[in-house]
Structure 1
Amino acid sequence: MVKKLVLAAIAGGIVFSASACNTVKGAGQDIESVGEAGDEAIN
């Protein structure tokens, strides 16, 4: 029973870390697109 709980906790941690990475990556892409739009507006 304890092994199942530990495995479930590890699996949950992996899922949450993967979703956090996707969120940070998406935020980086948003910031990059805002910078590019600013460059185009200036030129």
Structure 2
Amino acid sequence: MRWIMRITAALLILGLSACATIDGIGQDISSGARTVQDML
């Protein structure tokens, strides 16, 4: 039973980190688009 808990915890951590990186990429894209608009 313990290994099931470990796998579940690992999947949760992976999912959270994946969501964080996706959010960061989205913020980078939006801020980059803003700087491009400011330059134009």
TM-score category, normalised to shorter length: over 0.9
Unaligned 5+ segments in structure 2 are: none
- Alpha-carbon distance in 1 for matches of 2:30, 2:12: 27
Structure-1-length-normalised TM-score: 0.89
Per-residue deviation at 1:29? Answer: 0.3
Per-residue deviation at 1:41? Answer: 0.5
Per-residue deviation at 1:7? Answer: 0.6
Aligned residues: 40
Structure-2-length-normalised TM-score: 0.95
TM-align CA RMSD: 0.4
